[in-house]
Amino acid sequence: MRCIFRLLGVHGHVYSWSFPSSTEMRAMLGEPTCPEEHIVVSSLKGGEDKKNSSSYEDLEVEPETCSICLGILQFIYYDAKGLMVKKGTAISLALSISEQIKKEGHQLDSFSLEVSIPTVIQENEHIVHLYMKRKYRSELWFEERFSKCISTKEVLKFAMTNSLEKLLDVKSGPSSCRIRLTYAQTKPSSTVPSSVERGEGCKRRKTGNALGESSSNGLEDHESSECIIFPEDKVNDPCHLVFLCYRTPIYLGGRYLKFSRNVSQTRWMIDDERMGEASVEEIIGGYILPVCHGDSYKFHAAGREDIDVRMLGSGRPFLVEIQNARHVPSEALVKEIEININNLNTQLVLVKNLKMVANEGWTLIHEGEAEKQKQYCALVWISRPLENQDLQSIASLKDLQILQKTPVRVLHRRSPLEREKIIHWMKIETIAESSQYFLLHLCTQISKQC
């Protein structure tokens, strides 16, 4: 019945209701009602002939899956276990969805509803449109109703959105929280749109081996409206429905300092053996994930340092991307996360300025990458005593171009190449009571691989 309503351009809350009476149907379609109709319905509901006649309630039950929407607007579907579920109304399906959302612990302040349906339903709708055009185009009412026809997806979203808003007590609209209903055809339809020859003027058209394989673009109105007859075969199998509630990724960003020379930036495994005692990624991301009740996390940083190199100064910008967070931490909770991470890992990692970020999060990462110069300090030994001329010679070198070979430590994951790099300046700092040891300060071009 819902497909009849939408194909005849009926709008409104009718799609959220259970099946109406024939009187109500006439009213919705703007048709006059017959007084005798009320008498017949009343008799069937309470009269003596009820035992020997089909009751009104029996007439309301749809015995078969709709061959146009494949049961979607009857709210009949197969669940993940392959069992047929008959909800009957939008509010009933919305109730089961809302219960699942609450069971999974999703924190919603709004939501957007996404619906995906099989392409065969669009093919079915197109064929019905052509059939209706062929049969009713001479009727005065047809053109007006035909132009108001509503698609299966639009009807479903309208009916489900209203119901979910009431049950979840939040409004729908553009949101990071998505409720997705994915309908998939149980098996390819064996129903083929048939072409019939209309005297000598209509040529047979090839529409594919199955309804799902034909293209609606190929069914042109000027020809198909005369030739296509909607198949009478009934579809016995409704669609499979997969329901998913998820949140688009949320980001927490800040800067980290690394004090240990035995902590890598990310989890580092070689031949199933762990390198280092921990990683910045696991220390920070591993603590944030359970607080947000997310599925997983990704760690992003503006560059990297070696496992045996400390990260000091103002720290390195980073982002933790939480996938499908069911809880979005408040500003106070984010501050608590920062304090707890710092208290638990005082000798390894320190987090600064942790906060929830949106698009500016990637700006934070790019800010670190835009800092084109990095400074290093190395302890150097030479085979002869250091002289004043050496200090002047080193200090005079500016923007020195060198070729850097791929470090041995990363050859297992990077190509053995020579890459051009720039040393902007160098400075020697002498060490008291030593003529062959000195500190070499370097200002170098940053590399994305550093």
Active site residues: 306
Q: Which helix (H) or strand (E) holds 122?
A: helix 119-136
Query: How many other CB atoms sit within 10 Å of the CB of residue 216?
Result: 17
- DSSP string of 71-117? TGGGTEEE-TTS-EEE--SHHHHHHHHHHHHHHTT---SEEEEEEE-
Number of H helices, E strands in the chain: 13, 20
Categorise residue 8: left if φ over 0, alpha if ψ from -120 to 50, beta otherwise.
alpha
Residue 167 structure tokens: 């049950």
Q: Which helix (H) or strand (E) holds 354?
A: strand 349-357
Query: How many other CB atoms sit within 10 Å of the CB of residue 359?
Result: 7
- Pairing relationship of beta strands 250-258 and 373-381 according to DSSP bridges: unpaired
Please report where in the chains the tokens 């984010």 appear, as a residue.
Answer: 334
Please report where in the chains the tokens 């109500």 appear, as a residue.
Answer: 24
